[in-house]
Amino acid sequence: MRKVLVTGGLGFIGANLVPLLGRAGHNVIIFDNFSRGSVDNLVDSNDCQIIKADIRDSEALNEALANEIDSVVHLAAYGSVVESVASPEDNYSINVEGTFNVLNACRKNNIKKMVFASTGGALIGNANPPVNENSVPRPISPYGASKLAGEGYCCAFANAYDIDIVALRFANVIGPISWHKKGAVTAFIKAIMEGEPLKVFGDGSATRDYLYVEDLCRGIVLGLEAQLSGFNAFHLASGNEVSVNQLAEAVCKVADELNHPIEYLDKRPGEVERNFADYTLAKRVLGFSPQYTLEQALAETYTWYKGYK
């Protein structure tokens, strides 16, 4: 079996990805500092080796990757735009220095394949959608800047050290095991469950692209198994532009709370106005195509939240 190390493997995306990797024939080693992930998140992968360590610990990374690892999926990150604005130092330390450490450990241990979890909207910034791989990145938050820096180092290491690296620019991901996340879907569902108003920052016209986590994880597996040389970047998205107001309405419909109150607050700094991505390149090269509609994704997510509570 091929051995793949997944950083952040106990988090939202990692815990959904690990079982899929196992079914695809990979022997998975999880590298996680337990700051936001938990072993309880793993449903049917309890036999995975788990290394409790931080990606900023170079010695721990080198030791982990010295164990005949074939490839790395680098998910571990400081993943919130709002938190990055409040604490740019932590965002830089984890996302930039941490990613450099992962890449350098791959170099030292002759790892020749890596998938890097990047982002679409935050990295590109305010651009006329749909964005694609030719869009010029102009991030407006420390989070977006950190992911752009990560892609820059990935491109440099791919060329300087002959490592095949696929950067996947995620849309806004929703689905099970996301209770700890900071996104709008999580906030809306929790507000409905707690009988509180939905809080919308701005007038609700800002748009995003929402992707179900199972679709995303299938895209990650495709990226990992693709026979591509050097550095390659792809957008993994639904291709659908959804306003915050439309999202709020859809969540209320799924929860059967059509008249749930909504409270409008001041817009938060660092967040883009409009964003959705064209995934044509990922479809053509990787064979990626999302299967879940927004309504289906929200229904699956809401069902999980009700069961978790």
Eight-class DSSP state of 277: B
Beta-strand relationship, 172-174 and 231-236: unpaired
What distance lies between CA 104 and its chain's CA centroid?
Answer: 22
Q: Which residues contact 274 (CB under 8 A, 6 or more apart)?
A: 126, 128, 129, 206, 207, 241
Question: Is residue 78 annotated as a catalytic residue, yes or no?
Answer: no
Alpha helices in 172-261 (DSSP H): 184-194, 213-225, 244-254
The catalytically annotated residue of 78, 92, 143, 305 is 143
Distances (CA, A) of 61 to 51, 73, 88: 10, 13, 24
Residue 66's CB is within 10 A of a number of other CB atoms, namely 12
Helices (H) and strands (E) in the chain, counts: 12, 13
Characterize 116-134 residue by residue with b for buried, 16 or more Cβ atoms within 10 angstroms of its Cβ, and e for exposed: bbbbbbbbbbebebbbbbe
Give the catalytic positions in this structure: 143
